[in-house]
Amino acid sequence: MDSKSKACSVRFEPSGLKIKVPSGTTLLEAAHGAGIYLSSICGGDGYCGKCKVIINHGQLHSRPSPLLSSEEIRENIVLACQTKVLSDLTVTVPKSHSLETSQVLMDTDSRIFGKLMGQTQIEMFDYEPLVRKLCVEMSPPTVLDHTADHERLYAAIRELIDAPVMQTGFHVLQKLSNVLREDNYKAAVTIGQRGGTTEVIEIEPGGRCKTNYAVAVDIGTTTVVAHLIDLTNGKTIDTEATYNSQMSFGEDYIRRIIYAEQTNSFDQLQECLVHDVNDLIITMAVRQRIDLQDITAVICAGNTAMIHFLLNLDPTRIRREPYVASAALVPPIRAAEAGIQINKRGLLYCLPSVSAYIGSDIVAGVMTTRIYTKEKLSIFVDMGTNGEIVLGNKDWLVCASSSAGPAFEGSGIKCGMRAGSGAIESLNIVNGDEIRFKTIGDSQPIGICGSGLLDMLSELFVNGIIDRTGRLKVAGDSRLTEGDDGIQFQLVEPQNGQREIAITQSDINNLIRSKAGVFAAIRILMNSTQTKLEDIDSVYIAGGFGNFLNVQRAVTIGMLPDMPPDRLRFVGNTSIAGAKTVLLGRKAIETAERIAGSMTYFDLMGNPDYMDEFIKAKFLPHTDLSLFPSVRNLKLHVST
Amino acid sequence: MDSKSKACSVRFEPSGLKIKVPSGTTLLEAAHGAGIYLSSICGGDGYCGKCKVIINHGQLHSRPSPLLSSEEIRENIVLACQTKVLSDLTVTVPKSHSLETSQVLMDTDSRIFGKLMGQTQIEMFDYEPLVRKLCVEMSPPTVLDHTADHERLYAAIRELIDAPVMQTGFHVLQKLSNVLREDNYKAAVTIGQRGGTTEVIEIEPGGRCKTNYAVAVDIGTTTVVAHLIDLTNGKTIDTEATYNSQMSFGEDYIRRIIYAEQTNSFDQLQECLVHDVNDLIITMAVRQRIDLQDITAVICAGNTAMIHFLLNLDPTRIRREPYVASAALVPPIRAAEAGIQINKRGLLYCLPSVSAYIGSDIVAGVMTTRIYTKEKLSIFVDMGTNGEIVLGNKDWLVCASSSAGPAFEGSGIKCGMRAGSGAIESLNIVNGDEIRFKTIGDSQPIGICGSGLLDMLSELFVNGIIDRTGRLKVAGDSRLTEGDDGIQFQLVEPQNGQREIAITQSDINNLIRSKAGVFAAIRILMNSTQTKLEDIDSVYIAGGFGNFLNVQRAVTIGMLPDMPPDRLRFVGNTSIAGAKTVLLGRKAIETAERIAGSMTYFDLMGNPDYMDEFIKAKFLPHTDLSLFPSVRNLKLHVST
């Protein structure tokens, strides 16, 4: 305890950020304290090996780890979570391991990341944004018409739109009279819907009518995606994405809730998300030369835990029986209250969630795919860090959530990355061993995104490079090399300044676990509702895989049920698509609430058959090949 | 300019408050700067003589004034507004001239000040306060019923009340889950109406259901009156009043608007009102041992300028053609936003105004007297600093505003005071020269309040001590003495520690101007609408005169038209009564808005006949005695 009380100064290079911590603090904690987000999938348990840093000088106590190679040990590389500070220290955070790397990868090409499906969806609802800027023209007062300015404005607004219940914020009220006179009673009035109330959130002189923007955000456990929308025409004018900064507190949200609860760091976890969202907004605003004051709304979809963290609502009961959210229908609040840096009177909307484990991202997916309107049954799969499944039609909707893990988001995979410039997005193995791939932006390959990983797993399987359990066949291929993490399949050799790109046995196991979780969940929902495969009309798969997904290969690896290819559809990021639908057609919020209220949740963990189905699905494509006739008919290079 | 730039330190005794000001600053400005409110009716023009202070030591330049007696000059008394600081100064603010005096007078007896008429009024509307505390009991969540906390709360509220559109503030949302669990899903929920939206403004554990208070405030140009109301039963449990601190910036609100505009001191004028309202609230809360956090609403009525000052809305167009208010229907805001020190999420409501010159106090009066519901015509007179008149019935309402001045509020009158302990509230002259009076609280007389002044004017007239022009007949009465302010009529001699109480010629002239303004306005409204006296069913007179008003005497002096006494009614402070009606029956707000929308304003200043009527009404009771047969029939000691 005595040594613990000594204060040590830790300096992180290359940022130069410093922090004083008590002796005995781990480097991971110190980094968090200094505002540096080290990648850490395991949340500090020492088994993901992501939080490697280089010690420049100083004293420390580091626990030995099999995740460090002898070369790394020679280079003074340690796992930050397993290393305690004992004196003043200087530490270098390698580019490849900090989140900055991801941001470096994210140039303009990343705009295609999280592409929106279906402009059609917007057409279902009248174009009536949640926040609108109206051009209002009033006749100036006279001796015979001395209606007060505020009531004059209301009357003029009501000539344009239906707004029976109106409200004006105090600060708007205070400046109203002067603004109205600046442009002789022509004004640009920004109005926002807050439930049944139409609120005047901003007033400007008439000339400012034509600038009004909003941001739609999909807050995933692993990735955060944002779209910038011009509210005057509904067009998406920019997109941006980043990894969720909370990742250093644990891969999944349950781990993060535990961390926050144990260390009472809810504020810190909120700050991570707010920081991410602000970063995305500011990046896009700067790129498009838009004043942040002209962004008047942010609309978010995400799982229930992420929405709780964003708003600093208590998330602790999400993980405890009976699994209760603080709020599923979150009322609109002023974005500034949550720390979001848009117009200081702008509004923050969150799409409605179903329950603790089925978030608004899934409600958005159901809305976007319109499965809630159809006679026939559909399956909707959202591959995020959790793989959520919805089965149903216009009469009923059931859903479940599997702990898929973020493998298909490029996280927890040695060379995994989000769908940004340089990511391998599709891949074929020709003639047994010749690898052909395509990168986003046709850039130098620097990693593999979700669609590439799916292709890879399928091709390794179809070409017999892995067996039905996913094991790399050591004696099979010249591409198999021994890397730092054991045997691996090499796609790109490290030469001419090119980075090595390879997939490890551990990567393959992660990917198979993800797909198995999803398929097992589909089976449970189908069995529980006595749904047969022939009853299913369509399967929609959503997620941040990339621009294109070879959906047939999702069948080949046994992630999706074996259906004709024309009934399988990759729908991209439906979470953000749903958020945009509501943003641009405010009546859609009622549809979203109706969907949220009508979904029945199946708890997989409480289902004794789930583990059984999961184990069967951990084979490629499945233990029961009769479920995958199309795969059986492939000319597999693998003994079935 | 050189001497002006020298900084001088001015210290005010007995408070000890200090301020540094440039040499050349007037003492009145210095006092304002130091937060000391010196009485100043003329706004610093040097003719009211109210801002007398004593110079202890220091250099100054003081302009000579006929308002200072030779004795005062010997005692180093100066008019603060006419005195410039030239060096460091120490100044004593005499008790009798600072506003503290009024506060000293205002012990518990002042509760009767601004008495509420008509509990009946409340009965017209369902008892449904604008802000209510509900005792909500929910069944705790189970595995089979894991509705989120926020939606569980909404459902429980909707079982108790009709609330189709609801909203929850961000901070309430954040603490909701923990509060619900503190008392096993029993909660005290404070809900407030904001237009058509029901807002959850506070949530506490169930045990806190029984404490909920609100304050109703009448913000007059001269006086501010507040009532503390227990919202659980609608009872008024305390009242308090004070002079409006803005008085040192001018007697009427037009002068204050000019001052604020010229010196850009809108913030300072707002602070005055906020300070007054907070003072009243805190005084009552301390006396009743109520936590300010348990006061969840404040509702205000007042003239349009006062409401603008309170909220710091721009009031400058009120005084300029075409006389436009910033807002007549002010939406509810959070009281804390305006600086009102109640529960930090409590709401501030303002009753609707008609126009720049007819405020919500008058709407409140029309609502309270119910003249808007009657077949027959009524006249409503509100005697404040302005005398507002309403004439009409259920079909039409016309109104006008006369610059009555605050004489009947005890302001601008040598021995005038508000209706507090020690105020002479009624007075008779018996046998020609014996004066009998009654004070509030039967205390030692220290001044005269409105009802006493009315009695006095009437009795002086009836007993022939003043003539029909109001002139004191010098050779008539042993009570006539020569005071500092010239000839005066003495009620109480200065002996045995008693303060002299007297009425001066100037006081009488002020009172006659007030009554003349009101009567002239009534005549204009009647003539403009071709209303004859016999068409009028009732005359209501409201104002802070005191507890009782001998309304017949208001006829004797020619303030009100000559009607049978049973048709004349003193209704007290209808402004605060109306505010309470809306507070306790939220549907009444719609009635108030309907009334405000239906009133037609007559501009007296633009009416060529007004000055003519005013001059005729400056006689007692009037030049045309045929208008006052009941007065003609009095055995007047005055030659008619």
B501 pLDDT more than 80: yes
To the nearest whole angstrom, how far is the Cα of B173 from the nearest Cα of chain A?
7
Lowest pLDDT segment from A307-321, A495-509, B116-130, B223-237: B116-130
B3 pLDDT more than 50: no
Looking at residues B439-444, what average pLDDT do you find? 88
Between B447 and B67, the higher pLDDT residue: B447
- Give the tens place of pLDDT for each residue, B342-385: 999 999 999 999 999 999 999 999 999 999 999 999 999 999 88
The sheet with strand A599-602 has its strands ordered as A568-572, A536-543, A377-383, A387-392, A397-402, A599-602
pLDDT of residue A102: 32
CB B407 within 8 A of CB B453: yes
Q: Model's pTM, two decimal places?
A: 0.81
Model confidence band, residue B118 (pLDDT cutoffs 50, 70, 90): very low
pLDDT of residue B410: 86
A466 pLDDT more than 80: yes
Q: What DSSP assignment string belongs to B478-498?
A: TTEEEETTEEEEEEE-S-TTP
Percent residues over pLDDT 70 in chain A: 92
B528 pLDDT more than 50: yes
Helix (H) or strand (E) run with residue A596 in it:
helix A588-598
Which residue in this structure is represented by tokens 């400046």? Answer: A175
- Give the tens place of pLDDT for each residue, B297-350: 999 999 999 999 999 999 999 999 899 999 999 999 999 999 999 999 999 999
Nearest CA in chain A to B166: A195
A117 pLDDT more than 80: no
pLDDT of residue A195: 83
Estimate to the nearest angstrom the gap between the alpha carbon of A334 and the chain centroid: 23
User: What's the number of CA atoms in the CB half-sphere (13 Å) around residue B91?
Assistant: 33
The sheet with strand A52-57 has its strands ordered as A17-22, A7-13, A89-92, A52-57, A77-79
From CA B97, how far away is CA A522, in angstroms rounded?
A: 85
CB B450 within 8 A of CB B506: no
Amino acid making up residue A627 = L
**B312 has a chain A CB within 8 A of its CB:** yes
Q: Which residues contact B96 (CB under 8 A, 6 or more apart)?
A: none
Number of H helices, E strands in chain A: 17, 29
- Measured between alpha carbons, how far is residue B77 from residues A363, B60, B65 in Å? 78, 12, 11
The verdict on a CB contact (< 8 Å) between B148 and A329 is yes
**A151 has a chain B CB within 8 A of its CB:** yes
3-class DSSP assignment, residue B52:
strand
Nearest CA in chain A to B596: A147
Helix (H) or strand (E) run with residue A588 in it:
helix A588-598
Q: Counting one residue from A and one from B, how many pairs have CB atoms under 8 Å apart?
A: 157
For the question of an ipTM over 0.95, the answer is no
pLDDT of residue B121: 42
To the nearest whole angstrom, how far is the Cα of B528 from the nearest Cα of chain A?
17
Looking at residues B569-580, what average pLDDT do you find? 93
CB A204 within 8 A of CB A179: yes
Helix (H) or strand (E) run with residue B439 in it:
strand B434-439
pLDDT of residue A112: 35
Nearest CA in chain A to B600: A144
The sheet with strand A480-483 has its strands ordered as A480-483, A486-492, A501-504
Amino acid making up residue A444 = Q
Percent residues over pLDDT 90 in chain A: 66
Q: What DSSP assignment string belongs to B294-316?
A: GEEEEEEEE-HHHHHHHHT---G
Q: What DSSP assignment string belongs to B244-279?
A: -GGGGG-SSHHHHHHHHHHHT-HHHHHHHHHHHHHH
Give chain B's mean pLDDT.
Answer: 88
Question: What is the per-residue burial (b if ≥16 Cβ within 10 Å, else e) of A427-455?
Answer: bbbeeeeebebbbbeeeebbbbbbbbbbb
From CA B450, how far away is CA A237, in angstroms rounded?
A: 69
Question: Which residues 168-207 of chain A have a CB within 8 Å of chain B?
Answer: 168-170, 173-174, 176-178, 194-197
From CA B576, how far away is CA B215, in angstroms rounded?
A: 10
Model confidence band, residue A360 (pLDDT cutoffs 50, 70, 90): very high
Looking at residues A83-93, what average pLDDT do you find? 91
pLDDT of residue A634: 82
Q: Are strands B223-230 and B197-205 parallel, antiparallel or unpaired?
A: unpaired
From CA B401, how far away is CA B381, in angstroms rounded?
A: 10
From CA A385, how far away is CA A499, in angstroms rounded?
A: 27
Torsion B538-B544-B547-B550 (CA) sign = negative
Pick from A147, A176, A329: which is nearest to B150 by CB? A329
The sheet with strand A447-448 has its strands ordered as A434-439, A423-430, A447-448
pLDDT of residue A476: 60
User: What's the number of CA atoms in the CB half-sphere (13 Å) around residue A314?
Assistant: 20
Helix (H) or strand (E) run with residue A276 in it:
helix A266-287
CB A545 within 8 A of CB A518: no
Question: Which residues 320-339 of chain A have a CB within 8 Å of chain B?
Answer: 321-331, 333-334, 337-338
**B319 has a chain A CB within 8 A of its CB:** no
Helix axis angle, B574-584 to B360-369, nearest 10° = 80
Question: Which residues 123-142 of chain A have a CB within 8 Å of chain B?
Answer: 141-142
B95 pLDDT more than 80: no
Percent residues over pLDDT 90 in chain B: 67
To the nearest whole angstrom, how far is the Cα of A142 from the nearest Cα of chain B?
5
From CA A78, how far away is CA A50, in angstroms rounded?
A: 10
Task: Give ∠ CA B198-B201-B203 in degrees, rounded to 5.
Answer: 115
Please provide the distance, in angstroms rounded to a whole number, between the alpha carbons at the two ends of chain B.
Answer: 60
B4 pLDDT more than 50: no
Give chain A's mean pLDDT.
Answer: 88
Task: Give ∠ CA A114-A116-A117 in degrees, rounded to 5.
Answer: 130
A483 pLDDT more than 70: yes
To the nearest whole angstrom, how far is the Cα of A373 from the nearest Cα of chain B?
25
From CA A341, how far away is CA A357, in angstroms rounded?
A: 29
CB-based burial label for B160 (10 Å; 0-12, 13-18, 19+): middle
Model confidence band, residue A19 (pLDDT cutoffs 50, 70, 90): confident
From CA A220, how far away is CA B229, in angstroms rounded?
A: 50
CB A188 within 8 A of CB A135: yes
Pick from B317, B322, B326: which is nearest to A142 by CB? B322
- Measured between alpha carbons, how far is residue A252 from residues A97, A199, A247, A248 in Å? 19, 38, 8, 10
Model confidence band, residue A4 (pLDDT cutoffs 50, 70, 90): very low
A118 pLDDT more than 50: no
* Closest alpha carbon to B427 in B448, B397, B404, B403: B448
Between B127 and A433, the higher pLDDT residue: B127
- Give the tens place of pLDDT for each residue, A295-322: 999 999 999 999 999 999 999 999 998 9
Q: Which residues contact B175 (CB under 8 A, 6 or more apart)?
A: B203
3-class DSSP assignment, residue B411:
coil
Q: What is the CA radius of gyration of chain B?
A: 26
A152 pLDDT more than 90: yes
Nearest CA in chain B to A304: B148
Expressed in percent and rounded to 5, the helix, strand and coil fractions of chain A are: 35, 25, 35
pLDDT of residue B481: 87
Q: What DSSP assignment string belongs to B178-192?
A: HHHHHTTTEEEEEEE
The verdict on a CB contact (< 8 Å) between A176 and B327 is yes
- Tell me the β-bridge partners of B397: B392, B599
- Give the tens place of pLDDT for each residue, B193-236: 988 889 999 999 998 888 999 999 999 999 999 999 999 888 99
Highest mean pLDDT among A119-123, B216-220, B587-591, B630-634: B216-220
Task: Give ∠ CA A263-A266-A271 in degrees, rounded to 5.
Answer: 125
* Closest alpha carbon to B211 in B129, B133, B128, B284: B133
pLDDT of residue A114: 33
* Closest alpha carbon to A621 in A458, A427, A455: A458
- Give the tens place of pLDDT for each residue, A513-570: 999 999 999 999 999 999 999 999 999 999 988 888 999 999 999 999 999 999 999 9
pLDDT of residue A43: 63
What is the token pair recorded at B498?
């008693």
Between A431 and A153, the higher pLDDT residue: A153
